[in-house]
Structure formats: structure tokens, C-alpha cells
Amino acid sequence: MKRTEGVLSDGRRIIWFDESDDAARDAVDRRGLPRLVSASQLRFDPLLGEWVAIATHRQDRTFLPPAEECPLCPTVAGRHSEIPTSDYDVVVFENRFPAFGGADAAGGRCEVVCFTSDHSSSFGALSPARVRLVVDVWADRTAELGELPGVRYVFPFENRGAEIGVTVPHPHGQIYAYPYVPPLPARMLAMARAHAEATGRNLFADVLSAEREAGERVVLAGRYWTAFVPRAARWPVEVHLYPNRRVPDLAALQDAERDEFADLYLDVLGRLDALYDAALPYVAAWQQAPARPDRDGDRELAHLHLRVFSIRRAPDRLKYLAGSESGAGAFISDVLPEAVAQRLRGA
């Protein structure tokens, strides 16, 4: 992997990650953008004990541009994009419309990860070598962002599909480096801490072991990874991918684990698209340990895993978060997890 750093015309950082060592990434961003000024605020909800980001500048972010105006495609003659080179493998840059934080990372940082220069492609259409490169990129950003003094939690994710709310269809994901541990991982870590105090064992490892032993919800099982539908799945389609060895974060994965993940994840994505014989809208979200330095000892409790879920519950129906889910935070599932796992195994 070749890593090349640069700076966009408004001062934002950009990093090229290439499969080939002879890739030349010396182009200059000639757009003359004004310096990035974030209007984000973090406000604390005392009733729920959670932080909420107020980011009014995001109202003006790019929204469903035509393909010829895509900001994530390479720069070509007569049209400048966020990537000032004529091609690329994987590119990471600071978000022009961050949900929070800024260049100093005092309030966190938001980055965009472009998986390919091919506008019409998708993550599931990438080669295993390209997915392997993306894993290395996620690991690189997890390690570096996690060392920033204002960052507590690094969260790589991908939103795919208009139904999910994607506003730029070019294959890409994002990385949020939060200045706090978000509610979902914080809750999981609290449960893991209680489990460890009661049993002396790791909760995530126990869940993985139980799923592998039961087998009925396992979709794929490799030497280093297991993909399964969780017993209490909240979403109509939901698959969790765990490394069989407990590691805290992406940076801790060994080469063999990264290699197998590329093949296994592509297999899972292919099965998801085969469910309804169409591209499945999904969110793919990495759950990992809090960033270093870990003030609470949670890195010893965490177990890296990827959660992939979709709101599609039938070929022509979506799962909306209505009264119970949105109003009370209580999920009600319309499908049986064991049935979803069986369908995915046979897809």
C-alpha cells in the first residue's frame, strides 16, 4: 500500500491509498475554496444522558447531484472535484460539511472514504484486493484518529441506497471520530462490564461462541471470521461479522484476518443483494473499542465487529421506525432471525 498525503485548497487534508507503489499523486486542488469553518455545536440532553450534534451548515451539503457533477469522481478537464487527480484507488479526505469538529479535532473529526473512482460501482462489486486495501485504510484511520487528543471513539461506516438517505451515490463511506463514546457502543460496553463482573468472561466472546455452537443463525463461518444473524435482530435484515479472535479494533487485525474478511464480506454482500434480486439498501457500521488513551478500561471489554443491516423487509416494503421504535426506543421485528439466516445461506 502506498500512502500519499496532500492538502485541498481550503486547508482540508486528503490522503491517497494506492495498491501500486508507482502511483503519482502530486496534483494540486485549483478550486480556490474558502477556508473551512464549522458551525457545529455539541449539546447535552440531560434526560437521556446523550450528546446531540447541531450542524446547521449541513443543510447546504451536496444533495443527489447528477453523475457528471459528482464531487467524489476524479477531477477531469473542465470539472474539478474533491479529488484533484484523474484517477485513484482509495481516497480519504476531511468532510467539507462535517457533522461536528473541525481541522483542529478539538470536537472530533469527520472524514469521507471513497472506495473506488468508478461512479457506477458499489462496495460489493469491488475486488478482494480492493476490499483488503479498504480494510488497511480503516485500520490506518482508526489508529491515527484515535491518537488525537479530542477523540474518544472512531466509527467507520457506509450508508448505501437512496432508501437509507444517501445523498451522493458514488461508492463511499465515512469515518466519524467522536469526542465522546456514542450511545450504542457505550451501552454495549456497560453490558460487557456487568457480564465480566458477574461471570469473569467476555460478553462478546460468549455471544459469538453461542452463535457458532447453535449454528442455526450462522450465515458463513471461516477460519478467522463468523457471519451470523443475531438472535434478537432489530432490523428486517441484519448480519454481524465477528473475528473469531477477540481484538479491540481494526488496527489490531492481523494480515490473515484482513485477507479472509475481504472474501467473506463480499460473499455476505452478494447474498444480501440476492435476497430480493436487487441492490439492498444497508448501513454497515464498525463497532470497536474506545480510542486510546482508554480512560475507562473498556478496550479490554470490547470485541471488534461489523453490523450490516437493512430497512427493507419485503421486495416492495420498508421498515419505518414508527411509534414504538422512535417514540419509546423499543424495536419490534417483523421477521424471524432464523428464517433470514436460512434464506441468506441459500441465496
The set of catalytic residues is: 172
How far is CA 331 from each of CA 149, 164, 179, 328, rounded to the nearest angstrom? Answer: 36, 18, 28, 9
- H-helix or E-strand spanning residue 318: strand 317-318
The set of residues, in sequence order, having a beta carbon less than 8 Å from that of 6 and lying 6+ positions away, is 13, 14, 15, 16, 25, 27, 29, 84
Cell of 62: 451536496
* The pairing of beta strand 2-7 with beta strand 218-221: unpaired
- Using a 10 angstrom Cβ sphere, with 0-12 exposed, 13-18 middle and 19 or more buried, the burial of residue 295 is exposed
Taken as a whole, the chain contains a residue count of: 347
Distance CA 300, CA 288 (A): 11
Among 74, 94, 112, 111, which residue's Cα sits nearest to residue 12? 94
Conformational region of residue 49, where left means phi above 0, alpha means psi within -120 to 50, and beta covers everything else: left
The total of other beta-carbon atoms located within 10 Å of residue 341's CB is 23
* The pairing of beta strand 2-7 with beta strand 50-54: unpaired
Among 141, 146, 147, 118, which residue's Cα sits nearest to residue 130? 118
Backbone φ and ψ of 76, nearest 5°: -130, 170
What b/e sequence results for 173-197 when a residue is b if at least 16 CB atoms lie within 10 Å of its CB, and e otherwise? bbbbbbbbbeeebbebbeebbebee
Helix pair angle (203-214, 183-199), 10° resolution: 90
